[in-house]
Structure 1
Amino acid sequence: MDREELLIYIVSDSIGETAEQVAKASVSQFLFDNYEIRRFPFINEKQQISEMIEEAKQQRSIIIFTMVVQELKDYLVEESSKANIPSIDIMSPIIQGLSDVLKSTPKREPGLIRKLDEKYFKKVEAIEFAVKYDDGKDPRGLKKADIVLIGISRTSKTPLSMYLAHKNIKVANVPLVPEVAPPKELFEIPSKKVIGLTTNPMKLIEIRQERLKALGLKSEANYASIERILEELEYADDIMKRLGCPVLDVSSKAVEESASIILEIFREIGYKLINGR
């Protein structure tokens, strides 16, 4: 059995993780373990390829690559052929197949999958943040948030927090209740990152009555009375005036529309969201 060492060169204009995993999976199909994998990531110059080829031709080698920049890919294939080193292009057949089916031209931009992964994890982080700091659970989250929503019960604080989280924005929300003083942290953060949510009292009566029915409670409860709602709205209005924050009436707006307005408010006042666009 051939025991001469094989050097497997992984070459990529990104990190090269895909090519390395394919190489490992492929070599595992052989009763051969005398090999070494050398990864050459972030190749963006012909000189780097030349140096790699010079090293590879000194020993028994094979090059496995994922290159999307056409000029560099062509140069690698040409130089490896001159040096009699087998080279295997992993991505081109797949990209070409997709291009044929989609009737579209590939971007030819390195590292896009990594950028997509980063965006995904930022979204997950923002969603976890919204859950952790929902409904005033932990006021310490107010200083970490990109946006803080405040308002009385049933003013769409939680749905808006989750919707904005899917746009990679970290949102905390605080319920305003006359019997409970708002957390001191609310007055320690920039008022321009706070959005007050209000609503029409008659609309709120309907919403709260439906909520009570869903819970199997009587709709005449104080929670859905006009007196209680007006008291809560007045209290919330006082807090919002003290903060000097923008106020959004969500009475007849869908969550998507309210979220769009919130983002527009932030653009207008020039407040930079940590994870926003």
Structure 2
Amino acid sequence: MSEREAGGRTIYVVSDSLGDTAEYVVRAAVSQFNYEEVEIRRFSFVDDPSTVEEIAASARELGAMIVYTVVVPEIRHALEEACRNRGLRCHDILTPLLGAIGEMLGQTPKLIPGLVHKLDESYFRRVEAIEFAVKYDDGKDPRGLYKADIVLVGVSRTSKTPLSMYLAHRLYKVANVPLVPEVPVPEELFQIPASKVVGLTLQPETLHKIRTARLKALGLPPDASYARMERILEELNFAHEVFRRIGCPVIDVTNKAVEETAAIILELIKGGRIRP
């Protein structure tokens, strides 16, 4: 089939950014028909009126339809005029939606190409941070302390893991290290800047209740060493000695939700006490 014979079966996707959003929408729509008969051609990063004229002229030769996501007014108006002058079928995917959302929010759109890809970058950074938190959870690999933005340190049941995951969703790479008197503290913990370490502690009575409940949930006797008050005091004293050696800020997480503790850490970052 020649190009002229293919007239009416070609769709030009035009964008002043990458154009993958527009192409996806077009393919989704075309899939409702015999889409093997439709050719889709994408034109990305169209930022010059002369390029618009070339695209429109080519579309006129094929009798192609133009579908576009163009936020820069100058380019959008040039494309609309070029389509109108040549009698081309064209469809603006983005502008009507921008208008509706702007009306709902009472805001004016930024009209900057490619912002969605910046959002995508944020998504991938979040995924990377979550994977980091899983990889370096519970002191699994001390080498991760060098790579971390924030290092959480504390005895068992001070919410190190859920706090690591919460902060990962805020795009911070977080490692955490459990403190146990019988287990040597990783040397890496004293080699990294104290400004990215946060100590977590709990009131002994609260920690006793939490650990007792934990043992019960596991079907273990509540009087195990793990939940005995003398053992808890030993661990907490050990932890505070480590905090003192590091010189890091310490947060008492007693009766605090993970979100509250995270908010304190974010405020410490904002104030310069913690420097990821």
TM-score, L = length of structure 2: 0.84
Give per-residue Cα distances to partners, 1:194-240, cap 9 Å, x unaligned: 11111211221122112122222222222122211111111111211
Quote the residue 2:198 is aligned against.
Answer: 195
Give per-residue Cα distances to partners, 1:137-167, cap 9 Å, x unaligned: 1222212211010001111111211111111
For the Cα contact (< 8 Å) 1:135–1:174, is it kept in 2? yes
Matches within 5 A, 1:124-273: 124-269=127-272, 272-273=275-276
Tell which deviates more after alignment, 43-52 or 142-151: 43-52
In structure 2, relative to structure 1, the CA distance for the partners of 1:12 and 1:138 (3 Å cut) is same
For the Cα contact (< 8 Å) 2:155–2:239, is it kept in 1? yes
**Helix, strand or coil for the counterpart of 1:139?**
coil
Structure 2, unpaired ranges of 5+? none
Quote the residue 2:80 is aligned against.
Answer: 77
2:29 aligned with 1:16, yes or no? no
One-letter code of the match for 2:253? Answer: V
One-letter code of the match for 2:118? Answer: K
For the Cα contact (< 8 Å) 2:139–2:178, is it kept in 1? yes
CA distance, structure 1, for counterparts of residue 66 and residue 225 of structure 2: 74
Quote the residue 1:4 is aligned against.
Answer: 5
Tell which deviates more after alignment, 230-239 or 170-179: 230-239
CA distance, structure 1, for counterparts of residue 35 and residue 163 of structure 2: 57
Q: Deviation of residue 243 (structure 1)?
A: 1.4
In structure 2, relative to structure 1, the CA distance for the partners of 1:183 and 1:68 (3 Å cut) is same
Tell which deviates more after alignment, 194-203 or 46-55: 46-55
For the Cα contact (< 8 Å) 2:30–2:38, is it kept in 1? no
2:44 aligned with 1:41, yes or no? yes
Task: Provide the aligned C-alpha RMSD in A.
Answer: 2.8
One-letter code of the match for 1:4? Answer: E
Q: Deviation of residue 78 (structure 1)?
A: 0.8
Percent identity, aligned pairs only? 52
Tell which deviates more after alignment, 64-73 or 159-168: 64-73
CA distance, structure 1, for counterparts of residue 123 and residue 224 of structure 2: 43
Count of paired positions: 271
**Helix, strand or coil for the counterpart of 1:9?**
strand
CA distance, structure 2, for counterparts of residue 198 and residue 32 of structure 1: 63
CA distance, structure 2, for counterparts of residue 201 and residue 105 of structure 1: 51
CA distance, structure 2, for counterparts of residue 81 and residue 113 of structure 1: 29
**Helix, strand or coil for the counterpart of 1:258?**
helix
**Helix, strand or coil for the counterpart of 1:216?**
coil
In structure 2, relative to structure 1, the CA distance for the partners of 1:40 and 1:205 (3 Å cut) is same
In structure 2, relative to structure 1, the CA distance for the partners of 1:8 and 1:270 (3 Å cut) is farther
In structure 2, relative to structure 1, the CA distance for the partners of 1:254 and 1:23 (3 Å cut) is closer
**Helix, strand or coil for the counterpart of 1:248?**
strand
Alignment partner for residue 121 of structure 2, among 115, 118, 140?
118
